[in-house]
Structure 1
Amino acid sequence: MKRLPAPISNRRPSLSHLKRLSLHGPSTTRHKNFPPSAASKSDSKEGSSHWKAILSHLLRNNEIDEARHVFSKISSPDAHLYTMMITGYARIKRIDEAFRIFTEMPTRDVASWNSMIKACLDCGDLHLAGKLFDEMPERNVISWTTIMNGLAQVGQIDAAEGLFWRMPQRDTAAWNSMISGYSSNGRVTDARLLFEKMPCPNVISWTAMIGGYDQNGESDEALHLFEQMWALGIKPTSSTYACVLTACANVADLGLGTQLHAHLSKVGYLSDTFVSTSLLTLYANCKHIENSSKLFHENGDRNLVSWTALITAYGLNGRHEDALDEFNRMILSGIRPNQSTFTSALNSCCGLESLDQGKKIHGNVIKLGLDSDVFVGNSLIVLYSKCGDIDNSLMVFNNMRRRNLVSWNSIIVGCAQNGYALWALKLFDDMKSSLEQPDEITYVGLLTACSHSRMIASGKQIFQQLKEDPLVDVKLEHYACMVDVLGRCGNLEEAEDFISSMPMKPNVAVWLALLSACRMHTNLKVARRASQKIFDLDPYNSAAYVLLSNIYASAGKWNDVSQTRVMMRSRGIVKIPGYSWITLKDSRHEFVCGDRSHPMTTEIYKKLDWLGGKLKEYGYVYDRRFALHDVDDEQKEVVLTYHSEKLAIAFALLSTVQGSTIRIMKNLRVCGDCHSSIKVISRIVGREIVLRDSSRFHHFRDGLCSCGDYW
């Protein structure tokens, strides 16, 4: 027989002990609509209904202090009125006052005890809920189910399981509650076993099990269970359909989703918010965003849930401008965003690299008091980090009251990408002190920080910690990072030996890390070996051909450059063109080398000519090694002058306020000449220039770069 856990507390506390909690007295505020004369009503059944209507109105509008004033005027309130007040206080998390009302009750029946226990759980006070449960003179099935739910919600699933099996009797609601508890705590197999043991499962039981499978990543099994339910003739509810559509969305089963859409239109469930929202998400996940938009606009009831789903759908499909347009329309319509809405909107700002819009949304987050929300905070950290504003990213992180693994990973990776390696390592120490367990992403961020800052000893130490961490699997990505750490420091032979000693077969990413390091140090010998390994694995890898060609060009091996390019053409491999862009006033401006298509081309080239003159005054000499074409020196200088990042900087100087930070993005690695010249430009114009290339962020200030000329 299964051993049952001990009661929630071994000693049953007395109510006198519980009364010693800090309590607040009732409000003396008088509500203008309910004068004292209202208290003259008799306490008959008619009078009780009268008071119920008044209190219901006040509590529905969260006027709790007015309700308390009215309640104090009732000479003999019945248990139901007491319960209404307890629930009202619990809704706004004022558990002390809810408990005061409870202790004032002349007599308490099981229903009142149950209400108080639920109030404690709603306010997150599991300890007090447990004490009250132990103190109850008698319990019914609702009492047991309520406390069991509370335990499951805070992850104490073993304790909840023990209570379930100790229950003197179990109704269907108790079985359903335990199934949901198992599922929400990742024990979907136990949920299914319990479901199979149920004497009389109902549609709620089936729905809980379908939803449980889907929430635990087993959406195919959820759909299979729905088929069984349908075959048995059990009529689904709107909640069932919402769960099934969510499962369809997660596996991108457009066929079944379309069939359900047609059926739901016939049975009239499309008006249900959760059904229509789940259907909207299904179409978005299946890349049918126009259907999502159509469904939203055809539904007259546009509420927070449906609007948030549409904003999220646009973001998932890369239509970030549309997502932010809908977000703004929602605000103008008077609907207040919640955490999910803000998170989706911030993710779209991140997709557009629109720091200005992100800051505006951050302002709204603060106004609505949601800046302490962990999910919103995580999105803000990522936004600021990806836009090169690491100081604000750190500010958001430091101000968060609660953090999760995503919070720590986001700030560590952000610091790594922005060249704040020492901060990344310090944050890792803080993370361990807070007892947060690192995962694979944490170690990728730390190794990236070490590789970008020439911290080879720290990189080796981090990698050793990773190998000794029993809860994290060492993956190929970690090996590629370690090769990068060794290679960037110039230890190319050691990096090659490291690859040879790997316990798993290296993939293209590992060899590309070595080849990229050869590009930095112009090591032809190792580069040839590394590139051959890549071509053996992937003969059509364009990045390897481009890197190899650039290494040959830097070494002046123009015949090898020509042969490499001929090989690329023969295999139909096309080099990805380099381009840079800047986002200003929600508009993105893109530039390629020698670009003359921009409306401000004349002004841009004039500004570049001015910068060229200033660079010469400062003694700058173009580094012709980075003009990767076999032409004379004068032509090489022309090519270098009009690289895409320089065009973007010239445009930014013409289009932004003097003294403001210039933020440029580039799809490829910034060349050495551009890097050197931008350092001088930052000194010439007296402005910070933040450049994000394919490798990392570069913060140029006063003639220096945050990367220390090491990238």
Structure 2
Amino acid sequence: MTDWCMAMIPICAAFTKFMPKSISFAVVRNCTTSALTNSLSGFKCMKNNNSSSYKHLLSHHLKNQSLDKARIVFDKIPSPDVALYTMMVMGYAQNHRLSEALNLFHEMPYRDVVSWNSMIKGCLDCGDFIMAKKLFDEMPKKNVISWTTIMNGLLHLGRVKDAERFFYKMPYRDVATWNAMIHGYCSNGRVEDALLLFEDMPTHNVISWTSMISGLDQNGKSDEALVLYQKMVSLGVHPTSTTLVCGLSAAAKISALHAGLQIHCHIFKLGYCLDEYVYASLVTFYANCKQMEEAYKLFHDILHKNVVVWTALLSGYALNNKHEYAIKVFREMMKTSVCPNEFSLTSALNSCCGLEDIEKGREIHTIATKLGLATNTYVGNSLVVMYSKCGYINDGIIAFKKISEKNIVSWNSAIVGCAQHGCGMWALIVFKQMLHERVDPDEITLTGLLSACSHSGMLQKARCFFKYFEQKRLTELTIEHYACMVDVLGRCGELDEAEALARSLPVKANSMVWLVLLSACRMHSNLDVAERAAKEIFELEPDSSAAYVLLSNLYASARRWSEVARIRKMMNHKGVSKQPGSSWISLKGWRHEFLSGDRSHPLSEKIYEKLDWLGVKLKELGYVPDQQFALHDVETEQREEMLSYHSERLAVAFGLLNTMEGSTMTVMKNLRICGDCHNAIKLIAKIVDREIIVRDSSRFHHFKDGICSCGDYW
């Protein structure tokens, strides 16, 4: 035996102490020179594999974002090579620990182009473009990736001009560079420039085509995106799954059924039948084309349904106003243990909003909270809208405050929600906070602010906002904004000024502007301005039922019954029908709808008994029916009876019979609430000691303790 083998015998003997005797003798007996030589080669192997072992362990910690453990492993490596240094630097940068990444980068004994590029990208990922550019300038040798990385950073910051200069200054450009510039153009809304660059490209790959198709689609040119897709296929370029998804997205947006069917055929031919993301896009495409049966069939055929596929079906039903089905799909998804994401929750909440079902909305809010997604931007925005539209603005504002990262939609949703509920000062406070957070308002912000001022009688505030947005050019004023301003002036009784504004718009006023003015005339009983506004409407829209009804109601309020008869005769002659007033209340997932004087409901007898009882209590409190809202030429007693059985009162009586005492109830109405019913429900809320919320076509009214949140101004 060699000296080394002789030295190993005591070691082997020591191990035998821990073995059964029969095995230990066998081990010593078989410890031949050959066996020991094999052991030696094994030890040498371990020594040579130290680098790969460290690399594996380091990679494991970095993947699990255990940076401190990774650093301990890194510090134990005797002489880490440039690849290990780069791994550690990238780990720090990816976890936004940029200062530590830079320190380690500067400690490196040797830096290759990969390490430089990694550090530059890390700076960009952490939002430090200045440091990234500084490192780029210090690089001893740059390759095309170095240039492309900086160019991408400029594009991400929206500095398209600088990126252009960088692009044309590059000593060499590969296809990835061209693709990055095309993508950057499209991301910054310069799709025409992207098309010119695409045409100038020396060579295209499938990524080039996909980037251009996606860019056209995202910039409102879905029809051109489909033309480009067809051209790509005709040139023999095989689309990837991403290309197919982009093509389907374009077809879905413009409901191009034939083009989408062709893409569906390509999916079969190219073997993407099992790709869940492609199939999710197919489900969305068929849903957008109103082909929900085909969408469900596709969904049913997918073997392994992930959350993206479930969300596609759920959103499809919501898009087609089949909200009951959407909620059913959401519940089925939960039963199959598929965890919903922010988009699933958003779609489900939007369907709750469509159903005006606060109970289901609260259920989904609870699920979102358990998943830690209630503060997510998209989910939070949907919660604000859902609570606001279901009549619970306080809960909506609470949800708004909890959103972790508010975007413009968050702020607008809160402002519009406050406006709908007549909380004008709240809307102004939210707007002030929005400006403090340096969020730029848009056209929806101004609409919400003007609406808030309109419902709260804040004429001077409205004038200030209108002038502020006009002078600062924060957004382009549209016909909707002018209509809102006419509405503010009209509601505040400034009918002459409102009419003057309608006639002096930079564009010709449409029927919506004149209808707003006509509605204000109804509020203030001004027949002169009303007749002029109605004349303008009939010239623009001869069959406007709303104009006929408003004018007829004005004449009825003034007891000009001959004019009422004339308007009705005109409506009959033109075949114009009045939209019937209806009110409804949702309880336990069921919607109960009522028309004025309706006796078709199974509980009609009890409802009318309740109304009669309330009628007695109302008179005890001094309530006298306001007969100007009885719009028929009939006897006084008949008018009072007609007022007593308006649809909103029937819905309120039904709600009182079928909800817990002391609980808040919400009634919805498709038209503006009757003024007499408004007065009566104020007192009913006091009689039954409950809060009654009524949403009409204009706003929400919160009745409690004999008063309304609108302050009798709506």
TM-score > 0.5 by shorter chain = yes
Contact 2:607-2:654 at 8 Å conserved across structures: yes
What SS class does the counterpart of residue 273 from structure 2 fall into? coil
Any residues of structure 2 matched to 1:353-364 within 5 Å, and which?
A: 353-364=356-367
Tell me, yes or no, if structure 1 residue 349 matches structure 2 residue 352: yes
Give the counterpart of 1:689 among 689, 692, 704: 692
Q: Secondary structure at the match of 1:265?
A: helix
Q: Which has the higher contact order (CA 8 A, sep 6+)?
A: 1
1:696 Cα shift?
1.0
Corresponding residue of 1:588:
591
**Secondary structure in structure 2 of the residue aligned to 1:707:** coil
Distance in 1 of aligned mates of 2:649 and 2:64 = 58
Match of 1:677 in 2: 680
Q: Secondary structure at the match of 1:369?
A: coil
Tell whether 2:147 aligns with 1:139: no
1:528-547 to 2 correspondence within 5 Å? 528-547=531-550
User: Alpha carbon RMSD of aligned pairs, Å?
Assistant: 2.8
Name the SS for the 1:582 alignment partner: strand
String of CA shifts for 1:266-305, please: whole Å, max 9, x gaps. Answer: 2212322332222222212111122222222212231122
Aligned to 2:652: 649
Q: Distance in 1 between matches of 2:206 and 2:590?
A: 51
Residue 234 of structure 1 is matched in structure 2 by 237
Corresponding position of 1:446: 449
Residue of 253, 270, 274 corresponding to 2:256: 253
1:41–1:47 Cα contact (<8 Å) kept: no
Question: Does 1:624 find its partner at 2:627?
Answer: yes
Aligned to 2:275: 272
1:428 match: 431
Which of the residues 187, 201, 204 maps onto 2:204? Answer: 201
CA shift, 1:674, in A, is: 0.8
Q: In 2, are the aligned partners of 1:43 and 1:75 still within 8 Å (CA)?
A: no
User: Residue 502 of structure 1: SS of its match in structure 2?
Assistant: coil
1:555 is aligned to 558
Describe the shift of the 1:78–1:296 C-alpha distance in structure 2 as closer, same or farther (beyond 3 A): farther
| SS class of match (1:260) | helix
In 1, Cα distance between the equivalents of 2:163 and 2:359?
48
TM-score when normalising by structure 2: 0.87
The answer to whether the 8 A contact 2:183-2:215 is kept is yes
Return the alpha-carbon distance in structure 2 between the equivalents of residues 196 and 523 of structure 1. Answer: 63
Q: 2:487 pairs with 484, 488, 495, which one?
A: 484
Distance 2:94 2:644 in 1: 65
1:653 CA drift (Å): 2.0
Contact 1:629–1:636 (CA<8 Å) still a contact in 2?
A: yes
User: Identity rate of aligned residues, in percent?
Assistant: 58
Distance in 2 separating the partners of 1:126 and 1:354: 48
SS at match of 2:668: strand
CA–CA distance in 2 between the matches of 1:626 and 1:407?
39
- The residue that corresponds to 1:148 in the other structure is 151
Q: Out of 203, 221, 226, which is 1:223 matched to?
A: 226
TM-score by length of 1: 0.87
Q: Which has the higher helix share?
A: 2
Deviations along 1:324-353, one digit per CA (max 9) or x if unpaired, are 222233333333333322322222222122
CA contact (8 A) 1:141 1:170 kept: yes
Deviations 1:443-488 (A, max 9, x none): 2222222222222222333333343343533322222222222222
Residues 297-376 of structure 1 aligned to structure 2 (within 5 Å):
297-376=300-379
Alpha-carbon offset, residue 243 of structure 1? 1.2
1:617-666 deviation line (CA, Å, top 9, x unaligned): 22212222222222222222222222221222222223323322211111
Q: Structure 1 pair 278/576, CA: closer, same or farther in 2 (3 Å)?
A: same
CA distance 1:307–1:186, change in 2 (3 Å): same
Q: Indicate conservation of the 8 Å contact 1:219/1:250, yes or no.
A: yes
Residue-by-residue CA offset, 1:513-557 (whole Å, 9 max, x unaligned): 121112112222322222222112211111111111211222222
SS of 2:178's equivalent? helix
Decide whether aligned partners of structure 1 residues 252 and 56 sit closer, same or farther in structure 2, where only a CA change above 3 A counts.
Answer: same
TM-superposed CA distance for 1:194, in Å, is: 2.0
**Matched residue count:** 673
- The yes-or-no answer on 1:574 pairing with 2:577 is yes
Q: What 5-or-longer segments of structure 2 have no aligned partner? A: 1-42
Unaligned runs of 5+ in 1: 1-39
What is the DSSP-based 3-state SS (H/G/I as helix, E as strand, rest coil) of the residue aligned with 1:665? strand
Partner of 2:419: 416
- Partner of residue 40, structure 2: none
Contact 1:43 1:76 survives alignment (8 Å): no
Change in 2 beyond 3 A, CA 1:411/1:638: same
In structure 2, relative to structure 1, the CA distance for the partners of 1:450 and 1:345 (3 Å cut) is same
Q: Which position in structure 1 is the counterpart of 2:641? A: 638
Which residue of the partner structure matches residue 379 of structure 1? 382
SS in 2 for 1:679: helix
CA drift at 1:310 = 2.0
- Structure 2 CA distance for aligned equivalents of residues 633 and 554 of structure 1: 14
Contact 1:59 1:88 in 2 (8 A): yes
State the shift of 1:130 in Å.
4.1
Q: Is the 8 A contact 2:226 2:259 kept in 1?
A: no
CA contact (8 A) 2:92 2:100 kept: yes
Distance 1:524 1:296 in 2: 58
| 1:22 alignment partner in structure 2 | none
